[in-house]
Amino acid sequence: MSVKEKYELSDVIEEGGGGVYLDVVVNPGASNREMKGVDPWRGELKVSVEERPEGGKANKAVVELFSQILGAKDIRLVKGRKAKRKRIFVPDVEAAELEAKLMKGLEEAP
């Protein structure tokens, strides 16, 4: 991850509605499950999951990935159920806390 990606992480986070919204772009059917950094052109966090986009399997994997990284339970997919570009809602957290957890997850990624 480059220094530029670190500074752009705040661009994918929006506080509101009692939590934080996170914009992601998903690569389903990948060889592993991980966050890859910020796509500077789209302003979205890049995520890969092994599951195919069939029957909601990739969506479930994305929610599980963020639940694991953020240590949060009630994460919801609120937009993009049938698209690669998605919006996720993480309740009961502030933007700065979420950003810190995402940064830690990116630094620990293989």
Q: Model confidence over 10-35: pLDDT tens digits? A: 889 999 999 999 999 999 999 999 99
Contacts of 107 (CB under 8 A, 6+ apart): 1
Nearest to 70 by CA among 98, 49, 103, 89: 98
Instruction: Report residue 16 as tokens.
Output: 């509101």
CATH superfamily assigned to domain 3-92: YggU-like (3.30.1200.10)
All structural domains of the chain with their residue ranges: 3-92
| Model pTM score | 0.88
d(CA 88, CA 101): 15
Instruction: Report residue 98 as tokens.
Output: 């979420």
Query: Percentage of residues in the chain with pLDDT exceeding 90?
Result: 67
CB distance 41 to 5 below 8 Å: no
Instruction: Report residue 93 as tokens.
Output: 């957290």
